[in-house]
């Protein structure tokens, strides 16, 4: 079956993936007071031709998204009756434009002709998207790694792309919309990395890097390539991690802004830890510290950067590097410094740092404090974070190999068993 090649071409022209088109249609449906039930499978059925004539509400939403009659999207009514394009409750003289980021539908006047001039998309639309981006960042710092965060961020990227298709905008605003879509997609990428869903993270990276290139925003390009370095580090692919992080470090913003330079160096140190190169780790951390001290704290920067990178995060990346090197005494020192400086809202990072501290203490043979540290991590919600549960699982395995008959091992096993039972 040839499928709906016209819809496929229009999606490519507008920059929609299947998931983004589904979310754009759902946003229009919700704004009209209906439930958004369109999924990737729904869009796939449209593309393959399995569904040749969507439900009338979906047709109206498709018309609003693409600003044309649904028959111009490759759909045909059964028996060729194209007069069924518009449903009775949504006449063609009533266009629906959705500002999805605000969740508000803006109706054109009934006197306006169908499929007339598109609405103007401006800086206020971008600002509404950015306010939602701040919510995603806050959720990540509290919980991190959750599929719901990944899904939410992907949906918001779809909203940003939908605005591109629905309205006219200046070149500057279009660049900002691509930047918003790239930002949301990079958050979806990070949530997938954090949740150990590496295949999904790679797909988000491919999409985010394309959007970032179209935005011309070197700050978001830095974030995406830096995330790619972290992705490959967690996959234990240090050569790829160093190469990706080098792309970030060579961007103009890393040369212009010491805070970006510092983060690039700090993440390089964490990657070098995997290679066992202690000299490179120390050198990178020295460069990161020097750059951080030069950074102007009053300078305006993206919310994703100011929300997480500071001295506490530098210490945390140093902790990761020294753990990888097997320098457990040094790792413990960095862990304590990071925990002392972490902001209260950084709950996910606190749990990860505490789990790393327990590993560093165990590596030195300090069984009792190591077990006490591991047991101090709250069970909900951060104790259920994929990275934390993975580290605690490794902690338990190492503890049993190191001291199988120790009372501290029995204490940990009982605690871990009770924790798992309470989570069922």
Q: Which phi and psi angles does 22 have, rounded to 5°?
A: -60, -45
| Separation CA 42–CA 62 (nearest Å) | 12
The runs of H, that is alpha helices, within 39-113 are 40-48, 56-66
Q: What is the mean pLDDT of residues 145-163?
A: 84
Region 287-307: what's the mean pLDDT? 93
Cα dihedral value 217, 221, 224, 227, nearest 10? -130
pTM of the model: 0.71
Average pLDDT for residues 369-398, to the nearest whole number? 88
pLDDT the model gives residue 117:
53
Window from 26-35, 87-96, 227-236, 319-328 with minimum mean pLDDT: 87-96
* Torsion 395-397-401-404 (CA) sign: positive
Cβ pair 265, 307 in contact under 8 A: no
Whether 95 has a pLDDT exceeding 60, the answer reads no
Q: How far apart are CA 138 and CA 140, in angstroms?
A: 5
The count of residues in the chain is: 424
* pLDDT tens digits, one per residue of 241-256: 999 999 999 999 999 9
Higher pLDDT, 170 or 327: 327
| Predicted confidence (pLDDT) per residue in 53-70, tens digit | 999 889 988 887 776 888
Question: pLDDT per residue over 389-421, tens digit each?
Answer: 999 999 999 999 999 999 999 999 999 988 877
Of residues 91, 95, 35, 87, the one with CA closest to residue 68 = 95
Phi, psi dihedral angles at 168 (to 5 degrees) = -90, 150
């Amino acid at each position: 079956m040839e499928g709906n090649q016209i819809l496929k071409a229009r999606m490519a022209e507008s920059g929609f993936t299947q998931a983004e088109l589904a979310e754009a249609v759902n946003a229009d449906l919700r704004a009209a007071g209906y439930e958004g039930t369109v999924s990737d499978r729904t869009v796939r059925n449209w593309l393959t031709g399995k569904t040749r004539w969507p439900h009338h509400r979906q047709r109206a939403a498709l018309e609003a998204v693409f600003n044309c009659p649904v028959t111009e999207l490759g759909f045909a009514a059964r028996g060729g009756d194209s007069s069924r394009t518009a449903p009775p409750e949504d006449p063609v003289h009533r266009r629906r434009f959705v500002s999805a980021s605000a969740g508000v539908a803006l109706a054109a006047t009934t006197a306006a002709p169908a499929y007339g001039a598109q609405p103007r998309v401006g800086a206020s639309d971008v600002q509404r998207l950015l306010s939602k981006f701040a919510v995603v960042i806050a959720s990540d710092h509290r919980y991190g790694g959750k599929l719901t965060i990944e899904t939410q961020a992907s949906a918001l990227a779809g909203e940003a792309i939908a605005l591109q298709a629905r309205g006219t905008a200046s070149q500057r605003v279009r660049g900002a919309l691509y930047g918003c879509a790239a930002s949301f997609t990079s958050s979806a990428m990070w949530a997938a990395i954090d949740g150990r869903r590496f295949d999904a993270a790679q797909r988000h990276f491919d999409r985010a890097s394309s959007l970032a290139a179209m935005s011309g925003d070197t700050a978001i390009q830095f974030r995406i390539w830096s995330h790619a370095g972290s992705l490959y580090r967690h996959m234990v692919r240090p050569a790829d991690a160093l190469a990706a992080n080098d792309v970030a470090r060579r961007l103009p913003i890393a040369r212009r802004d010491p805070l970006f330079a510092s983060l690039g160096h700090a993440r390089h140190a964490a990657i070098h830890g995997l290679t066992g190169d202690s000299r490179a780790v120390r050198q990178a951390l020295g460069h990161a510290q020097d750059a951080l001290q030069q950074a102007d704290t009053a300078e305006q920067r993206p919310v994703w950067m100011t929300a997480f990178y500071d001295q506490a995060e530098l210490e945390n990346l140093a902790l990761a590097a020294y753990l990888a090197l097997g320098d457990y005494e040094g790792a413990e020192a960095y862990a304590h410094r990071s925990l002392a400086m972490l902001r209260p809202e950084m709950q996910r990072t606190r749990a990860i740092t505490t789990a790393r501290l327990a590993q560093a203490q165990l590596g030195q043979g300090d069984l009792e404090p190591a077990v006490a540290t591991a047991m101090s991590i709250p069970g909900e919600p951060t104790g259920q974070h994929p990275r934390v549960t993975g580290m605690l699982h490794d902690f338990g395995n190492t503890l049993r190999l190191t001291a199988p008959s120790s009372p501290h091992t029995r204490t940990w096993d009982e605690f871990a068993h009770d924790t798992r039972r309470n989570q069922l």
